[in-house]
C-alpha cells in the first residue's frame, strides 16, 4: 500500500514568482512580494519550497507519490473565457507564468501533473482517476501551495468528501495567500471544519509524509571553512545548533555571537554581528534556536501579528529545521551596531527609573499598545483562561514541600521569617474546584505577547527596544503581559537574599494585594513601610506597569482579574530556575494570600449582594447599592436575582442604566420582572461614566427621601453598582449633612474603593447643592 501522497497546488510563476518590493503584480492572482518571499525564501533555490521538493523527489515512488496541480489555461477555449475574465489572464499554457516556481526533477521518477482550468480541480481533469485506486485507504496526504483560502481549501474539501479515509495535512510555511490574515483564517477553518492537520514546521510536515523522523539536508555554505563562528560567552553550541547557524549565515565569512538568553525549555537566544563574503558588515540579527515544533509554532504565531506591529517588530529573515531542532533568524529594521542586551540584564545592573519608564512606555504604548488598542470586552472565566485546575494540586504540593523542607499539613504555614500564610496546597486540593464555576464574567481581551519577560525584551546599541519570542502570542486577557512582567520583576529581578529582606518583601506583597481599584495609581512609595532600596525600587517600577492599566481595563476596574493573574504566575515561579530560595518563598507567600483573597471574593459573588448605607442616614427605610441584576456577561439570571432582591426585603428600585445597556447586558426583561415582582421602579438613565443634571438629581433625591421616610427599602443600581450608583448615593448623603469628601468616603467604605469612578462624578458631588427640604408627604410614591 502506498503510504503517502504530496499534492502541490498552483506553485507557478504567475502565483508566486519572486518580486521586488515595489514591482507591480503580474496578474490578479499573484500572492505579492511578502508572501512570495515567505514561501520561496530570499534565495528561491534554497527556500522552503525548494528544499521540500528536493526532499520529496529523493523519496522512492513506492513510499511517496507526487501530484502537481497547475493552472493551465487556453485563451482560445470558450469554456475558460469567463474564468479568465474574472481573474485576468494567468498561467496561459506554455508561457513562463505557467511554469513551476521550483526546479523540476530531472530523474525518471514517476509523478502526475494535473492541468486544472477552474476552481474545482476534479472537474475536467484526471485527478479523480489518479486518486481512485487509493479510495478507502488511510493514506497520509500533504498539500502545499496557494491560495490557502481558495484553491487549497477547495481541494481539501473535495478530498475530505470524496476520500474520507485520507489523513490530510498542510504546513503553514508551505502555503500562502495574498493576505496574511486570510491565510491564517483559512488554516483555522481547514483545521476546525475539515479536520486537516496544520503543521507549523516543515520538519513536522515531512515527518508526517514519511511516517517517521526524516532529515532535509541543509544546503552547504559556499565556502568550506566559512562562516567562522565565534561565541563570546556561554558553553559550546551543540552540533545541530552549530549547523543551523552555519546555514542561516551561509552568505557570511564571519559571525560573532553573544548569548542573550538560554537554557530554559531547550531554547537559546543569540545576538549576532556578521560580515558577508565581500567583507561588508551586515545588519544585526537575533537568532533563536529550540525544539523544532515550538520554533515552528513561534514562527506561525509571529506571522499572524507581524503586520500589526509594523516597524516595531523584527522580520523573520530566514528559518530552518534540522535534527529535530528549529532556528529563526530575526532581522530588526533599525537595530543599532554593537551588541544588544536585554531589559532584564539592564534592570538588574541598576537601570535608572527614568530609563526604565522610557523602555516600558515604548513596549506597552508604542509596540504592544497596537494590540491593546483593539481590546474588546469578552465573556470569559479567567480561572479557566489562566489554566487553573485541581489536577495540578499534587505538583503544587510537591514544590511547596520541597521549598519549605517539611510536609505542608496544617491550614497555616510559616515562613522562616515567622510570617504565617494560608496553606496553598489546600487551595488547590479543596477550594479550587468549588470556586472555578464562580469566576465567570467579562474582561477585556486583545492580542497579547503571551510570555513577556525581561529576557525577550532586547535593547540594541542605539537604545532601541525590540521584542522577541512570540511563541505564546494569542488573543487573550489584555493585562496578561503586564501581570507576567510584574511577576518576573518581583521574583527574579529583585534580589532577596536573607530573612530580613524576605520579611520586608512580605510587606510589599500586602501593599500590592490591598489594591482595590485598577483605575487608580499605586500610592506613593513614601506611604508604604518599605525601606530596602531594591524593594522600594520594585514597588515604584510596579507602579509604572500599573499606570498602563486604566486604558486597558476601561470601566472593568475590578482587581479580581489581577488577583487571578498574580496567583497564576506566583505559583509558576516556584518552578523557576532563575529564582533563588528566598525569592521563591516570597512568591509562595504572595500566592498563598492571593489564593485566600481570591476565594473570599469569589464566594461573595454568589447570590446578589446589596451593600446598604448605614441606617443613621436612611431610617426608617434602607438605601442599598448593587450591580445590574441578571447581567448575562456574568452568567447571572434575572429571575434568580429579582427573587434575591425580594428575599432581602427590597421594595423599590432605582434603575440608572440606558436602554442600550438593557440590550447589551441581556436584561431586556428586567423592568417587566421588577413590576411583576411588585417592586416600585424609578428610572433615571445616565450614560456610563457620566452624570445627570442637577435638577434630575434633586428630583430623585426628593423621591428617595419621601420613600425612605415611609420605610421603603430602596435599591440603586447601574451596571457595576459603582459609578452612577455611587453618584446617587453620594448626593443623597449630602442631603443628610455630610460634606462632599465625607459623602464620597462613606460610599466607598460601604460599597467599594472603586465607587464613584470618574472625576466628573466626584466633581458633581462636590458641586451638588442640596435643595431645601420639602415637607413629608406621608406616603410612598
HEC states along 176-199?
ECCCHHHHHHHHHHHHHHHCCEEE
pLDDT band at 264 (very low <50, low <70, confident <90, very high): low
Find the DSSP H helices in 310-418: 343-348, 353-361, 369-372, 382-385, 393-404
Q: Find out whether 196 and 291 touch, Cβ atoms under 8 Å.
A: no
- Residues 188, 264: one domain? no
Closest CA to 253 of 273, 231, 239: 273
Residue 778 CB burial class (10 angstroms; 0-12, 13-18, ≥19):
exposed
State the pLDDT at residue 772.
67
Asked whether residue 748 is assigned to any structural domain, the reply reads: yes
Catalytic residue among 171, 718, 731, 770: 718
Q: Distances from the Cα of 78 to the Cαs of 27, 83, 94, in angstroms? A: 20, 10, 18
Is pTM, for the whole model, over 0.95? Answer: no
Q: Give the whole-angstrom CA distance, residue 350 versus residue 683.
A: 57
pLDDT band at 554 (very low <50, low <70, confident <90, very high): confident
- Residues 450, 469: one domain? yes
pLDDT band at 776 (very low <50, low <70, confident <90, very high): very low
State the pLDDT at residue 334.
58
Instruction: Examine the pLDDT at 337 and tell me if it is beyond 70.
Output: no
Q: pLDDT for 149-193, tens place per residue?
A: 999 999 999 999 999 999 999 999 999 998 888 899 999 999 999
Q: What sign has the CA pseudo-torsion 203, 209, 214, 217? A: negative
State the pLDDT at residue 747.
96
Instruction: Examine the pLDDT at 748 and tell me if it is beyond 80.
Output: yes
Closest CA to 335 of 494, 431, 247, 465: 465
- Residues 621, 647: one domain? yes
Q: pLDDT for 603-660, tens place per residue?
A: 766 678 899 999 999 989 999 999 999 988 777 899 999 999 999 999 999 999 999 9
Asked whether residue 778 is assigned to any structural domain, the reply reads: no
Share of the chain above pLDDT 70, in %: 95
Instruction: Examine the pLDDT at 699 and tell me if it is beyond 90.
Output: yes
Q: Find out whether 318 and 436 touch, Cβ atoms under 8 Å.
A: no
Stated as kind and residue range, the H or E segment containing 581 is: helix 581-603
Q: Give the whole-angstrom CA distance, residue 388 versus residue 376.
A: 23
Q: Find out whether 200 and 299 touch, Cβ atoms under 8 Å.
A: yes
- Residues 368, 488: one domain? yes
Q: Find out whether 450 and 474 touch, Cβ atoms under 8 Å.
A: yes
The DSSP letter of residue 335 is P
Q: Find out whether 443 and 477 touch, Cβ atoms under 8 Å.
A: yes
Asked whether residue 772 is assigned to any structural domain, the reply reads: no
pLDDT band at 315 (very low <50, low <70, confident <90, very high): confident
Instruction: Examine the pLDDT at 304 and tell me if it is beyond 60.
Output: yes
Q: Give the whole-angstrom CA distance, residue 171 versus residue 168.
A: 11
How wide is the angle at C-alpha 30 spanned by C-alphas 26 and 31, nearest 5°?
A: 140
State the pLDDT at residue 2.
75
Computed over every residue of the chain, the mean pLDDT equals: 91
The CATH number assigned to the domain holding 623 equals: 3.90.190.10
- Residues 353, 334: one domain? no
Instruction: Examine the pLDDT at 332 and tell me if it is beyond 80.
Output: no
The DSSP letter of residue 367 is I
Question: Is 655 known to be catalytic?
Answer: no
Mean pLDDT across 11-27 = 90
- Residues 12, 69: one domain? yes
The DSSP letter of residue 523 is P
Strand ranges for 390-439 from DSSP E: 412-414, 420-422
Instruction: Examine the pLDDT at 774 and tell me if it is beyond 60.
Output: no
How wide is the angle at C-alpha 227 spanned by C-alphas 224 and 232, nearest 5°?
A: 140
Instruction: Examine the pLDDT at 775 and tell me if it is beyond 60.
Output: no
pLDDT band at 781 (very low <50, low <70, confident <90, very high): very low
Closest CA to 330 of 458, 228, 202: 458
Asked whether residue 256 is assigned to any structural domain, the reply reads: yes
State the pLDDT at residue 757.
87
Q: Which residue has the higher pLDDT, 594 or 218?
A: 594
Query: What is the chain's percent helix, strand, coil content, to nearest 5?
Result: 45, 20, 35
The CATH number assigned to the domain holding 235 equals: 3.30.200.20
State the pLDDT at residue 176.
94
- Residues 72, 202: one domain? yes
The answer to whether the peptide bond before residue 227 is cis (omega within 30 degrees of 0) is yes
Cell numbers placing 203: 520538519
Q: pLDDT for 49-108, tens place per residue?
A: 999 999 999 999 999 999 999 999 999 999 999 989 888 899 999 999 999 999 887 777
Asked whether residue 773 is assigned to any structural domain, the reply reads: no
- Residues 563, 701: one domain? no
State the pLDDT at residue 778.
46
State the pLDDT at residue 520.
87
pLDDT band at 46 (very low <50, low <70, confident <90, very high): confident
The CATH number assigned to the domain holding 77 equals: 3.40.50.850
Contacts of 314 (CB under 8 A, 6+ apart): 286, 330, 331, 332, 333, 466, 467, 468
Find the DSSP H helices in 710-772: 723-734, 740-750, 759-767
The DSSP letter of residue 463 is S
Last residue of a domain, one of 550, 582, 603: 603
- Residues 651, 688: one domain? yes
State the residue range of the domain holding 252: 228-339
Q: pLDDT for 431-458, tens place per residue?
A: 999 999 888 888 999 999 999 999 889 8
Cell numbers placing 629: 441584576
Mean pLDDT across 664-675 = 94
Closest CA to 415 of 405, 428, 425: 405
DSSP string, 68-96: EEEE-B-TT-GGGHHHHHHH-S-SBTTSG
What's the total number of domains in the chain? Answer: 4
Q: Find out whether 679 and 641 touch, Cβ atoms under 8 Å.
A: no
- Residues 578, 618: one domain? no
Asked whether residue 587 is assigned to any structural domain, the reply reads: yes
Asked whether residue 776 is assigned to any structural domain, the reply reads: no
Last residue of a domain, one of 210, 241, 269: 210
Q: Which residues pair with 327 in a beta bridge?
A: 289, 320
pLDDT band at 338 (very low <50, low <70, confident <90, very high): low
Asked whether residue 305 is assigned to any structural domain, the reply reads: yes
Closest CA to 614 of 460, 779, 430, 749: 749
Q: Which residue has the higher pLDDT, 187 or 226?
A: 187
- Residues 477, 596: one domain? yes
Q: Give the whole-angstrom CA distance, residue 445 versus residue 478.
A: 5
- Residues 398, 501: one domain? yes
Cell numbers placing 640: 434568580
Amino acid at each position: 500500500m502506498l503510504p503517502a501522497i504530496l499534492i502541490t497546488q498552483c506553485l507557478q510563476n504567475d502565483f508566486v514568482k519572486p518580486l521586488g518590493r515595489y514591482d507591480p503584480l503580474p496578474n490578479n492572482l499573484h500572492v505579492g512580494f511578502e508572501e512570495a518571499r515567505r514561501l520561496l525564501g530570499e534565495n528561491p533555490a534554497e527556500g522552503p519550497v525548494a528544499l521540500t521538493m528536493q526532499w520529496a523527489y529523493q523519496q522512492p515512488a513506492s513510499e511517496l507519490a507526487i501530484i502537481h496541480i497547475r493552472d493551465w489555461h487556453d485563451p482560445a477555449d470558450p469554456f475558460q473565457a469567463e474564468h479568465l475574465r474574472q481573474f485576468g489572464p494567468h498561467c496561459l499554457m506554455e508561457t513562463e507564468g505557467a511554469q513551476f516556481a521550483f526546479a523540476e526533477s530531472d530523474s525518471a521518477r514517476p509523478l502526475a501533473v494535473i492541468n486544472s482550468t477552474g476552481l474545482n480541480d476534479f472537474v475536467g481533469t484526471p485527478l479523480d482517476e489518479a486518486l481512485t485506486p487509493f479510495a478507502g485507504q488511510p493514506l497520509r496526504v500533504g498539500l502545499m501551495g496557494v491560495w490557502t483560502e481558495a484553491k487549497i481549501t477547495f481541494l481539501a474539501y473535495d478530498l475530505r468528501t470524496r476520500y474520507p479515509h485520507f489523513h490530510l495535512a498542510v504546513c503553514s510555511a508551505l502555503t500562502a495567500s495574498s493576505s496574511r490574515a486570510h491565510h491564517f483564517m483559512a488554516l483555522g477553518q481547514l483545521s476546525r471544519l475539515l479536520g486537516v492537520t496544520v503543521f507549523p514546521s516543515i520538519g513536522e510536515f515531512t515527518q508526517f509524509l514519511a511516517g517517521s523522523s526524516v532529515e532535509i539536508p541543509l544546503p552547504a555554505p559556499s565556502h568550506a571553512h566559512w562562516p567562522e563562528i565565534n561565541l563570546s560567552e556561554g558553553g559550546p553550541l551543540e552540533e545541530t545548533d552549530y549547523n543551523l547557524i552555519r546555514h542561516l549565515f551561509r552568505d557570511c565569512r564571519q559571525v560573532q555571537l553573544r548569548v542573550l538568553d538560554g537554557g530554559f525549555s531547550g531554547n537559546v537566544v543569540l545576538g549576532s554581528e556578521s560580515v558577508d563574503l565581500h567583507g561588508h558588515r551586515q545588519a544585526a540579527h537575533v537568532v533563536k534556536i529550540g525544539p523544532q515544533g515550538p520554533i515552528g509554532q513561534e514562527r506561525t504565531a509571529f506571522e499572524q501579528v507581524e503586520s500589526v506591529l509594523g516597524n516595531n517588530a523584527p522580520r523573520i529573515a530566514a528559518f530552518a529545521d534540522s535534527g529535530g531542532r528549529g532556528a529563526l533568524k530575526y532581522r530588526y529594521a533599525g537595530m543599532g551596531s554593537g551588541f544588544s542586551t536585554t531589559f532584564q540584564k539592564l534592570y538588574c545592573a541598576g537601570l535608572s527609573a527614568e530609563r526604565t519608564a522610557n523602555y516600558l512606555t515604548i513596549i506597552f504604548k508604542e509596540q504592544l499598545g497596537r494590540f491593546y488598542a483593539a481590546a474588546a470586552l469578552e465573556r470569559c472565566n479567567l480561572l479557566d483562561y489562566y489554566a487553573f485546575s485541581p489536577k495540578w494540586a499534587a505538583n503544587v504540593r510537591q514544590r511547596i514541600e520541597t521549598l519549605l523542607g517539611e510536609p505542608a499539613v496544617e491550614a497555616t504555614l510559616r515562613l522562616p521569617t515567622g510570617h504565617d500564610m494560608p496553606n496553598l496546597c489546600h487551595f488547590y486540593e479543596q477550594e479550587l474546584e468549588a470556586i472555578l464555576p464562580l469566576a465567570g464574567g467579562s474582561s477585556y481581551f486583545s492580542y497579547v505577547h503571551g510570555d513577556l519577560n525581561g529576557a525577550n525584551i532586547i535593547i540594541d546599541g542605539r537604545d532601541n527596544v525590540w521584542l522577541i519570542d512570540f511563541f505564546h502570542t494569542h488573543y487573550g486577557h489584555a493585562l496578561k503581559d503586564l501581570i507576567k512582567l510584574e511577576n518576573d520583576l518581583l521574583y527574579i529581578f529583585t534580589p532577596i537574599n536573607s530573612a530580613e529582606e524576605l520579611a520586608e518583601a512580605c510587606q510589599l506583597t500586602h501593599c500590592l494585594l490591598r489594591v482595590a481599584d485598577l483605575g487608580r495609581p499605586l500610592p506613593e512609595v513614601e506611604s508604604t513601610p518599605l525601606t530596602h532600596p531594591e524593594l522600594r525600587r520594585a514597588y515604584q517600577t510596579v507602579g509604572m506597569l500599573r499606570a498602563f492599566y486604566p486604558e486597558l481595563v476601561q470601566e472593568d476596574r475590578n482587581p479580581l482579574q489581577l488577583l487571578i493573574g498574580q496567583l497564576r504566575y506566583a505559583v509558576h515561579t516556584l518552578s523557576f530556575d532563575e529564582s533563588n530560595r528566598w525569592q521563591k518563598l516570597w512568591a509562595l507567600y504572595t500566592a498563598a494570600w492571593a489564593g485566600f483573597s481570591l476565594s473570599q471574593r469569589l464566594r461573595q459573588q454568589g447570590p446578589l449582594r446589596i451593600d446598604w448605607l448605614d441606617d443613621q442616614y436612611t431610617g426608617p427605610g434602607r438605601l442599598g447599592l448593587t450591580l445590574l441584576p441578571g447581567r448575562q456577561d456574568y452568567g447571572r439570571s434575572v429571575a434568580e436575582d429579582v427573587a434575591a432582591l425580594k428575599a432581602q426585603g427590597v421594595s423599590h428600585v432605582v434603575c440608572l442604566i440606558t436602554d442600550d445597556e438593557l440590550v447589551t447586558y441581556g436584561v431586556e426583561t428586567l423592568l417587566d420582572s421588577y413590576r411583576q415582582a411588585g417592586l416600585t421602579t424609578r428610572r433615571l438613565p445616565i450614560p456610563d461614566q457620566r452624570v445627570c443634571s442637577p435638577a434630575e438629581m434633586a428630583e430623585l433625591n426628593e423621591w428617595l427621601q419621601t420613600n425612605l421616610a415611609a420605610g421603603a427599602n430602596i435599591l440603586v443600581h447601574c451596571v457595576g453598582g459603582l459609578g452612577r450608583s455611587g453618584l446617587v448615593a453620594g448626593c443623597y448623603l449630602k442631603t443628610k449633612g455630610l460634606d462632599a469628601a465625607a459623602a464620597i468616603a462613606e460610599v466607598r467604605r460601604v460599597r467599594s474603593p472603586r465607587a464613584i469612578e470618574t472625576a466628573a462624578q466626584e466633581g458633581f458631588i462636590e458641586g451638588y447643592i442640596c435643595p431645601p427640604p420639602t415637607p413629608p408627604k406621608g406616603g410612598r410614591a
